Amino acid sequence: MDTQPVSNWTWWKHGVIYHIYPLSFKDSNDDGYGDIPGITGKLDYLSDLGIDAIWLSPIFKSPMVDWGYDVSDYRAIDPIFGSMKDFKRLLDESHKRGIRVIIDMIMNHTSDQHPWFVDSRSTIHHPKRDWYIWREAQKGKKPNNWKSVFGGSAWQFDERTGQYYLHTFLKEQPDLNWRNKQVKKAFMRHFKFWLDMGVDGFRLDAVNMIVKDKKFRNNPGLLVSLFQNKKWHTRNQPKSYKILRQLRELLDTYHERVSVGEIYTLPPGDSEMAGSYLDEGNNAIHMAFDFSLLFRQWNARKYHDAIVHWYNNIPPEGWPCNVLSNHDLGRSVKHFGSHKRNNRKARILAMLLLTLKGTPFIYYGEEIGMENAYIHRNEIRDKLGKKFWPIYQGRDKARTPMQWTGDTNAGFTSEKPWLPINRNFHTLNVEAENRDEGSLYNFYRKLIALRKQYAALQQGKWEALIKGENGVLAYAREIEKQRLIVLLNFTPSPKSISIESYNINKVLLSTHRPENAVVDVSDVKLFAYEASLLKELEFME
């Protein structure tokens, strides 16, 4: 990657995006569920943190079987979140503060309560029948071996018409048939509706799954699919790319709108797959999530290798984005041991996320170090948790309410919250961290500000200097005359390192060293769990 400025430099390349799970951010009407006016009321907090855009998990009308990822009306706001007027106000107030708004669009499936599906399942002859994927039994059995991502067969028998319909996720989320042109047309109109209203972009749910094999061939067994992702007949079909190019054409008729795709796949091969959607020359989507950082063990070399692998899979004109946690896969500080240690590791991760090349996505609460919560069996709200408990407790642990204060219900609601608040909220909350200059929250704020200040952090070339040896990851970000170095010690012991060919540096931000301290990286001893961002002195302006 180059040391020259990036072409087509635009907000979503240099911005920091903050992912909100609306049910859990802030409850404004005391029904226990977070809502849109709640988010609007917290825009000043977000603005103060320094983020550039918010991505909202779905807010459309929904029976909430999958908490909004089962949509029954793509042009209406679910009353649990408020009204369309509330949404327009959020959009307006965000824009006033220079914050863009990205919404979640679910193209693979609808709710089974969506009028399209109600019509589709009514009779075999209904014009909407072909909008979904219906098949006859094969010799008295399910149409093929396709599995639902959420367990079991992906086929559900429907008594009324004696056929099976496909559902890649829950049975209440029937898959749309994107080979039907009407479906595409209807969706393009939905996109247009929101674009005209002024939303700044879309996170595209499970977007590599929208088209399935025309011949309905069986998927290969688990081993083959684990190592040869491309063999799946339910993912990454050529037609998905074609549809996304058409969507891109539509987005490009508006000013600076963005698309970011969730690419469902299995490791290894996740970076390859995500990268394959980023070929700018081919007018693909703008960004795609690669979840490989999220699945890393706590090991500097593994992080290094994952980063390099990800960058190597980005086409020349493509742009990376980076993410450490989300509402499905858990919080980044999971499994890291005691709270105290989590906090140190959280800083290393924060520095990594905000100094890597690519747009950072912060998951709400990550900036204060929110942890996965233990949810008692009776309080589980995620269908997956209910279905698979105790083997898998579901996704609720990373969806608990935002911890605003140490008061009742963490300042999230005055009623019973829809999910329990993590018990650590008395000490771990925004109010407390805001006050404490040395908190993780303030570390995030400073990092975001530095990312804004230094072009090298936004568009500079990324080069590994220490590739995880001895538990240390070090890299440079460089553009024109600006050279920054990041030093991350992943271990609980001090480490001596030596980076030749770099001159004397000054500290921009560090977990252990005062700002502006001078560091000679040709011979320096890193503190346990040190995370430092340095700037080469010779190139100082």
User: For binding to ligand NOJ (CB under 6 A), which residues are involved?
Assistant: 66, 69, 106, 169, 205-206, 262, 327-328
Please give the sequence-ordered ranges of beta strands (E in DSSP) within 213-257, or none if there are none.
none
Nearer to ligand NOJ, 40 or 108 (CB): 108
What Cα–Cα distance (Å) separates residue 475 from each residue in 33, 355, 463, 465, 532?
42, 9, 5, 5, 11
Strand partners, 109: 175
Q: With beta carbons less than 8 A apart as the criterion, state whether 204 and 187 touch.
A: no
Q: Which residue number, 94 or 148, has a Cβ lying nearer to ligand NOJ?
A: 148
Orientation of helix 181-197 relative to helix 238-252, angle to 10°: 30
> Is 66 annotated in the active site?
no
162: which 2 tokens? 């004696």
Rg from Cα positions in the chain: 24
Coarse DSSP helix, strand, coil percentages of the chain, rounded to the nearest 5 percent: 35, 20, 45
| Closest residue to ligand NOJ, based on beta-carbon distance | 69
Which of 53, 307 has the CB closer to ligand NOJ? Answer: 53
Rounded CA-CA distance 477/27 in Å is: 40
Q: How far is the CB of 126 from ligand NOJ (least distance, A)?
A: 25
Q: Is the dihedral of CA 37, 80, 332, 329 positive or negative?
A: negative
For residue 476, the minimal CB distance to ligand NOJ (Å) is 34
Nearer to ligand NOJ, 66 or 396 (CB): 66
User: Would you say 334 or 512 has its CB closer to ligand NOJ?
Assistant: 334
Instruction: Tell me how far, at minimum, the Cβ of 60 lies from ligand NOJ, in Å.
Output: 12
Give the residue with the Cβ less far from ligand NOJ, 327 or 513: 327
> What Å distances lie between residue 479 and 5, 359, 406, 456, 458, CA to CA?
7, 17, 43, 5, 9
Cβ-proximal residues to 474 (8 Å cutoff; 6+ apart), any chain: 464, 465, 466, 485, 486, 487, 488, 497, 499
Closest CB to ligand NOJ among residues 106, 472 = 106
Closest CA to 275 of 310, 235, 327: 310
Write b or e for each residue in 168-191: b if 16 or more Cβ atoms lie within 10 A of its Cβ, otherwise e: bbbbbbbbbbbbbeebbeebeebb
Residue whose CB is less far from ligand NOJ, 33 or 404: 33
The answer to whether the peptide bond before residue 5 is cis (omega within 30 degrees of 0) is no
Burial (CB count within 10 angstroms: exposed 0-12, middle 13-18, buried 19+), residue 255: exposed
75-107 in b/e form (b: 16+ CB < 10 A) is: eebbebbbeeebbeebbebbeeeebbbbbbbbb
C-beta of 67: minimal distance to ligand NOJ in Å? 7
Whole-angstrom distance, CA of residue 311 vs CA of residue 275? 9
Q: How far is the CB of 177 from ligand NOJ (least distance, A)?
A: 17
Catalytic status, residue 500 = no
Query: Which residue stretches of 261-314 are H helix?
Result: 270-275, 300-312
Specify whether the CB–CB gap between 257 and 195 falls below 8 A. Answer: yes
User: Between residues 6 and 106, which has the closer beta carbon with respect to ligand NOJ?
Assistant: 106
User: At its nearest, how many Å lie between ligand NOJ and the CB of residue 63?
Assistant: 13
Residue 11, φ and ψ in degrees, nearest 5: -55, -40
Rounded to whole angstroms, the Cα distance separating 364 from 278 reads: 26
- Least Å distance, CB 374 to ligand NOJ, is 20
Q: Which of 70, 112, 262, 530 is catalytic?
A: 262
Nearer to ligand NOJ, 261 or 471 (CB): 261
* CA distance linking residue 22 with residue 261, whole number of Å: 19
Between CA 434 and CA 29 the distance in angstroms is 25
3-state secondary structure of 314: coil
Of 175, 205, 270, 382, which one is the catalytic site residue? Answer: 205
User: Nearest approach, Cβ of 173 to ligand NOJ (angstroms)?
Assistant: 6
Element (H, E) at 38: helix 36-41
CB 75 within 8 A of CB 58: no
User: At how many degrees (to 10) do helices 440-453 and 339-355 cross?
Assistant: 10
Catalytic sites, residue numbers: 205, 262
